[in-house]
Amino acid sequence: MELIDGNHIAQEVLDELKGKVSAFECGKPCVTFVRVGDDPASISYVRKKEKTAASLGIDARLLVFPSTISENQLLEEIDRLNGDISVHGILVQAPLPPHINDVQIFNRVSPAKDVDGFNAVNLGKLCQEQPDAFRSCTPAGIIELIKRTGIETAGKRVVVLGRSLIVGKPIGMLLLNRSIPGNATVTFCHSRTHNLPALTREADLLIAAIGKPHFVTSDMIKPGCAVIDVGINRVPDSSRKSGYRLVGDVDFEQVAPKTSHITPVPGGVGPMTVAMLMANTVQAFEQSLKQP
Ligand code: GUN
């Protein structure tokens, strides 16, 4: 079994990006984060993204709004950022309060500044296999892990657990596409799937993105399968100062010995998400330079 070191691979990506950013002669990329409310996980994710951007020489700005902001006010703020030529990337941190339609917000972000890849235009471009599409950060990070670890996907059976807009659907599409890695036979499983373990046992590569702690157990795995665990679940742990610890969607202790490769939680997919946000911001900056 090979442990996939997401921290190490993310650092490789960041080092490459840092070199690229320092070589730009006409300005530097700028990403603006929009946070609504005080969700503790969102605060910590956005802080991590800001710090990483700063370490690469990317200009990171933060706008924070109260959870009482109306959908129209938030849409107006996004219009303002869309029209600000000094901003190359816009990221509205999810989850948003329940009175705000998140899809409406994601679709308002200019496709050219949509470093999250949640806009319908970029999701459509992903289906069309257009190279200028922004790929959402977690799926793009998984692709990079697979590529740099040398896991073969062409002709293989991939099972994706979960059908979210942020992870499940786009990672399935990316692995279906004719890119490298890609060309896989992809099956999506979800809460309404019948006899799910029989399907996961067929997988050569299993991607778990359902947000249920330790959902994947060893009886659900074919020996030699590669496993990517996207789950970041907080479970109570009184022995920790924070009162919680992070666990994945996979029961790592049980499953790891049966796999060819596996990502840990934390230290697997998580750091890659942040690194690929930086890659998307650099891509947005480069594409803005090519605009007429
Ligand atoms: N919330 C959890 N993951 C993400 C992400 O990748 N982007 C945004 N905007 N919000 C998230």
pLDDT tens for each residue of 16-72: 999 999 999 999 999 999 999 999 999 999 999 999 999 999 999 999 999 999 999
Residues in the chain, pLDDT under 50: none
Residue closest via CA to ligand 1's atom 11 equals 94
Tokens found for residue 4: 């996939």
Write out pLDDT tens, residues 146-157: 999 999 999 999
Closest by CA position to 260, among listed 220, 228, 216 = 228
pLDDT at position 120, please?
Answer: 98
Q: Is the dihedral of CA 140, 142, 148, 151 positive or negative?
A: negative
* Phi and psi at residue 258, to the nearest 5°: -90, -10
Alpha carbon distance 231, 214 (integer Å):
9
Look up the CATH architecture of domain 25-110.
3-Layer(aba) Sandwich (3.40)
Alpha carbon distance 126, 133 (integer Å):
6
**CATH 3.40.50.10860 placement within the chain:** 25-110
Alpha carbon distance 28, 7 (integer Å):
25
pLDDT at position 219, please?
Answer: 98
Tell me the CATH number for domain 137-270: 3.40.50.720
Q: What's the predicted TM-score (pTM) here?
A: 0.96
Q: Is the dihedral of CA 53, 87, 122, 132 positive or negative?
A: negative
Residue closest via CA to ligand 1's atom 2 equals 94
Contact 167, 117 (CB under 8 A): no
pLDDT at position 241, please?
Answer: 95
Å from CA of 256 to ligand 1 middle: 27
Å from CA of 136 to ligand 1 middle: 9
Q: Is 48 a catalytic residue?
A: no
**CATH 3.40.50.720 placement within the chain:** 137-270
